[in-house]
Amino acid sequence: MVIMSQFGGPDGELAASMRYLSQRYSTKNRKVAGVLTDIGTEELAHMEMVSAIVHQLTKDITPQEIVESGFDKYYVDHTLGLWPQSAGGIPFTSTFFQSKGDVITDLIEDMAAEQKARTTYDNILRLVHDQEVCDPIKFLRQREINHFQRFGEALRIVLDELDSKNFYAVNIDYLPDLHK
C-alpha cells in the first residue's frame, strides 16, 4: 500500500500541512504568512484525497489479498482504519518536518519538501498502473510543482527585501543583534 506514504509518510500531505501551518506564525512577512496558510490548507485537502484513495482501495479487500499484498502487517494493528504512517510502517512524527522560526530557512525547507513530495508521486506512478488511481495522483503531483514555484517566489520576495547590509541573507528579523 505505497500510497499510504502520501498520507502519513515523511514527505506526505499531512507532513506538508503541519510544516507550513506551523511555520506561518513566526514569519513577519505578510505575503509569506499568506502563502504558508493557503498552501498548508490545500495540503489538508490533498490529505483527504489520499486518505479516500487508501480507503477505497482497501475497503473490499479479501483475506487472501491482505496476506499476499503484505497489507497484513498493517491490518493486524488497524484493521481497515486509516492511521498515519509511511508505507514502510514508520509512524507519523513531527520529526518528519522542521519549523525553524527563520523565514529563509523555513522557505528553503518548504521548497525541498515539495520536491520530496513530487519524487514520492513519481515513485508511486512507477509502481501503480490503475488509471482511476493514477489520474488523481498525477493531479496531486502537478500541485507539488506549482507549490514549489510559489515558495520559490516567496523566497525571492524575502531576499529582495533584505537591505544592503545583509548581503549574505542572514535572517532579517534578528538583524539588530548582529550589529552589536
Using the rule CB under 8 A, give the single segment among 69-77, 90-98, 116-124, 150-158 that binds another protein. 150-158
Exactly one of 146, 159, 161, 178 binds another protein (CB under 8 A); which one? 146
Q: Apex CA 97: angle with CA 93 and CA 99, to 5°?
A: 120
162 binds another protein (CB under 8 A): no
Other C-beta atoms lying within 10 Å of the C-beta of residue 9: 25
Exactly one of 38, 65, 72, 161 binds another protein (CB under 8 A); which one? 38
d(CA 119, CA 144): 10
d(CA 161, CA 169): 10
Indicate the residue among 56 and 123 with the shorter CB distance to another protein. Answer: 56
Restricted to residues 64-123, the positions that interact with another protein (CB under 8 A) are none
Indicate the residue among 95 and 131 with the shorter CB distance to another protein. Answer: 131
Indicate the residue among 4 and 39 with the shorter CB distance to another protein. Answer: 39
- Minimum Å gap between C-beta 133 and another protein is 9
Residues 6 or more apart whose CB falls under 8 angstroms from that of 13 comprise 6, 7, 43, 44, 46, 47, 49, 50, 117, 140
Residues forming a β-bridge with 85: 91
Q: Which three cell numbers stand for residue 132?
A: 482511476
Indicate the residue among 20 and 96 with the shorter CB distance to another protein. Answer: 20
170: helix, strand or coil: coil
Exactly one of 25, 56, 83, 122 binds another protein (CB under 8 A); which one? 56
Residues near another protein (CB under 8 A) are 31, 34-35, 38-39, 42, 48, 51-53, 55-57, 132, 146-147, 150, 153-154, 157
